[in-house]
């Protein structure tokens, strides 16, 4: 199998990533939503699970005691450069944090590859070692992944109804399985706003 090197488009997107972040930070994609009421979920987060792209199952009960950052991802997006930032975050805070990527083709078909190709692309080009789910649907509707149904349904998570608005929307869950924050795609994983919650 040929290594999944970057296409010309992907190289351009990677080069333009700093500009994308600079000019989209003030838009709706840069919003942060907090669980200011400290609302607790009616359905426990740690009862959820996902199938990883290597065929293994990740039972979220294994994540008790750690913070979890759930991110919907794509390989052909202006925000794809966040893969390297997510990896740095995982390496820096690995003792208390687990990043989980959920590749999805829901926004402008920016993730057409299969699971094996996505994993290879992420590892080769961004050094990704955190778990990646099987490619799935993250937006609302029939077929939405149960994890994203939980993240965007206040009847389950206790307060938040914000679905992913684009690739690289980020949801932070604390050690007790409480959803504490939504960070829009234009919020860098290495931003002060995110890192403040991990210290």
Q: Which residues are catalytic?
A: 77
State how far the alpha carbon of 94 is from the alpha carbons of 40, 45, 48, 71, 120, in Å.
25, 20, 21, 16, 22
Helix 82-93 × helix 115-126 angle, to 10°: 70
- Alpha-carbon distance of 106 to 86, in angstroms, equals 20
Q: Can you tell me the distance from the alpha carbon of 9 to that of 108, in angstroms, rounded to the nearest whole number?
A: 14
Question: Cα 44 to chain center, whole Å?
Answer: 19
Q: Counting Cβ atoms within 10 Å, is residue 185 exposed (0-12), middle (13-18) or buried (19+)?
A: buried
Task: Say how many C-beta atoms besides its own lie within 10 A of residue 137's C-beta.
Answer: 17
């Amino acid at each position: 199998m040929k290594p999944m090197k970057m296409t010309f488009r992907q190289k351009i997107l990677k080069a333009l990533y700093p500009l994308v972040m600079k000019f989209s930070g003030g838009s709706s994609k840069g919003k942060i939503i907090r669980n200011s009421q400290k609302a607790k979920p009616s359905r426990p987060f740690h009862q959820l699970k996902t199938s990883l792209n290597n065929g293994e199952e990740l039972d979220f009960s294994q994540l008790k005691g750690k913070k979890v950052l759930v991110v919907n991802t794509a390989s052909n997006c202006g925000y794809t450069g966040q893969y390297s930032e997510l990896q740095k975050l995982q390496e820096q805070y690995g003792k208390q944090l687990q990043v989980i990527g959920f590749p999805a083709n829901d926004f402008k078909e920016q993730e057409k590859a299969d699971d094996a190709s996505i994993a290879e692309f992420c590892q080769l080009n961004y050094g990704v070692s955190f778990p990646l789910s099987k490619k799935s649907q993250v937006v609302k509707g029939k077929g939405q992944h149960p994890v994203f149904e939980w993240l965007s349904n206040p009847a389950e998570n206790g307060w938040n109804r914000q679905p992913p608005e684009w690739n690289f929307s980020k949801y932070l869950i604390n050690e007790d399985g409480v959803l504490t924050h939504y960070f829009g795609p234009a919020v860098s994983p290495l931003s002060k706003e995110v890192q403040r919650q991990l210290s």
